[in-house]
Structures are given as structure tokens and as C-alpha cells.
Amino acid sequence: MQNELFQSTDQTPCLNFWMPSNWPVAAGWNELVAEFLSSETGRILAHSVKNRIDTGAVIYPAAPFKALELTPLDQVRVVILGQDPYHGAGQAHGLAFSVPTGVKIPPSLRNIFKEIAQETGDFAIAKRIDGCLESWAKQGVLLLNTCLTVESGQPASHAKLGWEVLTDAIIRKVAASNRNVVFLLWGAHAQAKQKILQDHASVTGEHLVLCANHPSPLSAMRPPAPFLGCQHFALANQFLRERGLDEINW
């Protein structure tokens, strides 16, 4: 039954029903998510998405809360912020920048792999063909898009429906509840979330915030903070290592 709920007619996974009860979340997120869904903003969002589904819109991903399912709150060590899910068929699966195994790697993710390869000296990473980042999520990397749904072929189509009220609350929760977290903010949209971290100055002194351009080919090499060469993955692991925490196997 659950697979039927998440399949479009061409077998590309998509969101065919608004049914948050079918989107499990890991420990620490339940209360926050439930509070949002029962709020006026959450109800308006639900109505908007249901209406778009009823009118035939194809919406991705099938499981909007996947990042919260794979990464419990108390295990978050790194936060990587995306904007909205990939809008191509078969690409989005609920994790920022990630695509399911077997799907062609998008240009931004390819640049992420190139940067990791340059930092680690493992140049095979730059040529990897599997773009699924679930292994990162299971190590404590919260791969969070600030908008959690999108319509096929229409980037940012759900950007103003209310998702950012929830995702801002998630960022706030991590900043207030977790210690020694690395925030990787790539591009102006992600960097705008620094205000949330600054509002929690009592705890953010224990966090590391790293900023660079978005890894998109359009901006990855632009000054003043090019993504390629940013050393963010090495710096994140150095920060964790110095505090006695396990490094991320990128």
C-alpha cells in the first residue's frame, strides 16, 4: 500500500497523497514536526499541496521528511543546507544534493565530489557514479533542503508555501540542542540562515559555520568565496576530530 501511495503512473516515485503519517522521522524531531503540521501554516501548506496533487501536478519527493528519518536530532554533527528538491523525474529523494543510486549525478553534486577528491587526495571520488548520500545522513550529516517539495520541471514552485517555517525551526533546534555542529552554507540562500544561528549566540560559539558559493557550475569558481577549493570537508572533520568526535567518511 505504501509503495502505491508513492508511485506515479510512470513508476517515477512522487508524492501522490498528503499523508505525513507515512513519513517517519527519527528521535528528536517528532514534537517539532507535529507542532508545525498542526499550526495554521502547516494546515495551509497541506491544503496547498493537496490541491496541487488533485489538479494533476507531479510533486517530488515521495518522502519529504527523509532527512529527518535518517538523521536523529542528537546525532547531528554536520548540517548541509540545500534550497529545494531536484525537479527532474527520479532525482529527488528527500536529501539535499543527493540522488538515488542509478540516477545520473547532477552538476552541483559532481562538483561536491570533485572538492572532496581534491581535499582527500582520493581522486576516484571525483568519478564516482553513485550520487546517493544516505551514508552521510546515517553518519550525522543533516542534508536539509529549506523547501521540502517541488513540482516537476518547476524549480522553487513550492518555495512560498510555508516549508521554511518548519526548516527554520529545524535549524534553530539543532543550534539550540546540539553542541559542536558544523554548518556548511553554500550560496546566498543558505547563508541567509546565519541570522538564525546568530540569534542563538549562547550556543553557536560551539558551532563552526563555513560559507562558500553554491557548488553549481555557475558559481563554484567565482570569487570571493569559490566552492571549489573551499576545504569545507577537511575543515569539518578537523573541527570534529579536535573535539573527540568521529569524523565523517565523505
Q: Which positions are catalytic? A: 84
Cell numbers linked to 168: 527554520
Cα three-residue angle 248-138-125, rounded to 5 degrees: 50
Please, are residues 139 and 76 in contact by the beta-carbon 8 Å criterion? no
Nearest-10 crossing angle of helices 163-177, 30-38: 150
Closest by alpha carbon to 100, among 76, 139, 131? Answer: 131
Q: What sign for the dihedral angle of Cα 196, 232, 115, 139?
A: negative
Specify the 3-state DSSP secondary structure of 151.
strand
The whole-angstrom separation of Cα 49 and Cα 53 is 6
Cell numbers linked to 102: 542509478
